[in-house]
């Protein structure tokens, strides 16, 4: 048991980082890091899953209605507690690995492996969901400019077959009938239609190439796209504010039609909107001044995005009947249903669709940046094969794991259903937040004299509040999500004892 929970000291962790002998390049300033955080946060969550959180799903979960703003506040507070804990660790342990590295320093190797395996759900599986949503908005954008992509090239089998079944049962909405028609007219092999989300595959592969090329170039591209997508969301807020019909906040069941039950259920869904700020911590080894810049980037990105999310929610639910917003493109739906100048609404729709494509491109970039660096750190510790820790001799990026992650995400994005992966991403991220908060408590007790460039305030209160609030959101998720999460962790333990336990460099050094 002592071997399973062997810890690395902070000194050991930082001593392993040596740029001259294969470490990563320190080129990112505080605004680069803030842009990475904003790039990771503003994406599929606000542009896609917010609709389900507002309107709910019949027989599955309640909607928050206009009270979605309270759901955003609840989730932001939860993430705020976690952000303070991440900021302390990121400043104190400025190397790649994020929660995996922090767990190694506080809990020991076995828990570090568990959290590293868990982070695959947050970054890789989360990117699958984002790629799927990106493809949907890209198809809408192309349609608005007169280019029509067949629906069977931008969907998955579950959604396609549900549309065919609904059409057969007498559904009348145009979207369902269009998809059902496209599926039946798609090429068939052995009697089955070919359903492939090709745009999702192509965007993931393009992002992978950019990330292999270099972190500086990736961060620069991300910064440009972040500025554009924030500007577009502000455009929607300004235009939408002129289209608000105040009775929409109270006419359809009141401000909080389902009470706190709807608010908390929505909070568990829109948590997906906030994952991404912690991805900043995976770039700690590439920050110029991590002690100062990492806390700034983590906290500032969360604050900026929270303000934008609340404003978007207020405008969106004021523009139309909230019960109609339960679509995959709720912001576009709000523009479609709002009463106003037709030309203004048509132009706004194109601009917002373009903004959504940009937003999710940056999320793909940030998450695709984070996952390989988790693998990189685990391989450097011997828990994964040595090839996973290779750094490109010219570009100084973990190119092997970047390519591997990109290929796997692209393959699953071609077939997966977004609803199934969003909940799994949420539970994996919340679990990581719980362990990071607990790690702050442990290290404050075990290593109280360690220099902390940033100290989370009001310890132990803040970490304890982080743990409680994250567990609260976790219990709101469906039971099947817990089952899938448990199965995933069990597979991870098999992999650890089959390879990682026997190849651990820490254990070899102590032998």
- List the domain range (segments joined by +) for residue 235: 25-156+195-510
What local confidence, expressed as pLDDT, does residue 220 receive? 75
**What total number of domains does the chain contain?**
1
Percent of the residues in the chain that have a pLDDT greater than 90, as a whole number: 41
What local confidence, expressed as pLDDT, does residue 7 receive? 84
Residue 265 lies in a domain: yes
What local confidence, expressed as pLDDT, does residue 419 receive? 72
pLDDT bucket at 21, cuts 50 / 70 / 90:
very low
Residue 186 lies in a domain: no
User: Which residue's entry shows tokens 């592969």?
Assistant: 205
What local confidence, expressed as pLDDT, does residue 169 receive? 84
Residues 472-506: tens digit of each pLDDT: 999 988 889 999 999 999 999 999 999 999 999 88
Distances (CA, A) of 139 to 17, 30, 104, 177, 352: 44, 35, 43, 16, 13
Residues 441-462: tens digit of each pLDDT: 999 998 898 889 999 999 999 9
Residue 122 lies in a domain: yes
Q: Do residues 211 and 369 lie in contact, with contact meaning Cβ atoms separated by under 8 Å?
A: yes
Q: Do residues 194 and 454 lie in contact, with contact meaning Cβ atoms separated by under 8 Å?
A: no
What number is the average pLDDT over the span 42-49? 83
Residue 10 lies in a domain: no
What number is the average pLDDT over the span 18-38? 74
Range with the poorest average pLDDT among 28-37, 302-311, 435-444: 28-37
Residues 409-438: tens digit of each pLDDT: 999 998 887 777 888 889 999 999 999 999
Above 90 in pLDDT, residue 401?
Answer: no
Residue 60 lies in a domain: yes
- Name every residue whose Cβ is closer than 8 Å to that of residue 440 and which is 6 or more positions away in sequence: 85, 88, 89, 106, 456, 459, 463
Residue 479 lies in a domain: yes
What local confidence, expressed as pLDDT, does residue 364 receive? 86
Q: What is the pTM of this model?
A: 0.85
Closest C-alpha to 419, from 73, 128, 224, 134: 128
- Residue 496 DSSP SS3: helix
Above 50 in pLDDT, residue 316?
Answer: yes
Residue 91 lies in a domain: yes
CATH number of the domain bearing residue 451: 1.20.1740.10
């Amino acid at each position: 048991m002592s071997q399973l929970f062997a810890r690395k000291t902070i000194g050991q962790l930082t001593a392993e980082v040596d740029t001259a002998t294969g470490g990563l390049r320190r080129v990112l300033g505080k605004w680069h890091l803030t842009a990475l955080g904003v790039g990771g946060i503003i994406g599929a969550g606000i542009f896609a899953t917010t609709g389900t959180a507002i309107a709910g799903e019949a027989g599955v979960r309640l909607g928050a209605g206009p009270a979605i703003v309270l759901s955003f506040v609840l989730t932001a507070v939860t993430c705020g507690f976690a952000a303070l804990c991440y900021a302390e660790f990121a400043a104190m342990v400025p190397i790649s690995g994020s929660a995996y590295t922090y767990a190694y320093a506080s809990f020991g190797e076995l828990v570090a492996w568990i959290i590293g395996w868990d982070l695959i759900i947050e970054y890789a599986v989360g990117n699958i969901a984002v790629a799927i949503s990106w493809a949907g908005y890209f198809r809408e954008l192309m349609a608005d400019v007169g280019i029509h992509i067949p629906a069977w090239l931008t969907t998955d089998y579950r959604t396609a077959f549900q549309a065919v079944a609904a059409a057969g049962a007498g559904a009348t909405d145009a979207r369902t009938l269009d998809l059902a028609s496209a599926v039946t007219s798609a090429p068939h092999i052995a009697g089955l239609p070919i359903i492939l989300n090709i745009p999702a595959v192509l965007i993931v592969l393009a992002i992978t190439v950019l990330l292999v090329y270099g972190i500086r170039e990736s961060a620069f591209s991300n910064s440009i796209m972040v500025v554009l997508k924030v500007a577009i969301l502000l455009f929607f807020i300004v235009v939408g504010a002129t289209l608000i019909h105040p009775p929409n906040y109270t006419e359809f069941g009141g401000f909080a039609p389902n009470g706190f039950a709807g608010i908390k259920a929505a909070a568990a869904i829109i948590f997906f909107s906030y994952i991404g700020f912690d991805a900043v911590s995976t770039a700690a080894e590439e920050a110029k001044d991590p002690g100062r810049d990492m806390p700034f980037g983590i906290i500032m990105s969360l604050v900026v995005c929270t303000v934008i999310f609340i404003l978007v929610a207020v405008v969106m639910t004021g523009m139309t009947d909230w019960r109609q917003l339960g679509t995959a493109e709720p912001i576009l739906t709000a523009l479609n249903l709002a009463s106003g100048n037709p030309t203004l609404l048509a132009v706004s729709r194109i601009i917002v669709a373009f903004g959504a494509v940009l937003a999710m491109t940056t999320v793909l970039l940030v998450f695709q940046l984070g996952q390989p660096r988790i693998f990189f750190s685990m391989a450097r510790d011997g828990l994964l094969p040595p090839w996973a820790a290779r750094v490109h001799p010219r570009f100084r990026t973990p190119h092997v794991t970047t390519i591997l992650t990109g290929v796997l995400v692209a393959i699953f994005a071609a077939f997966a259903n977004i609803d199934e992966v969003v909940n799994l991403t949420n539970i994996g991220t919340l679990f990581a937040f719980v362990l990071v908060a607990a790690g702050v408590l442990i290290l404050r007790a075990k290593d109280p004299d360690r220099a902390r460039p940033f100290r989370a305030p009001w310890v132990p209160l803040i970490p304890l509040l982080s743990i409680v609030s994250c567990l609260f959101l976790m219990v709101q998720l469906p039971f099947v999500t817990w089952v899938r999460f448990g199965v995933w962790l069990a597979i991870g333990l098999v992999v650890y004892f089959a390879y990682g336990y026997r190849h651990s460099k820490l254990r070899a050094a102590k032998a």
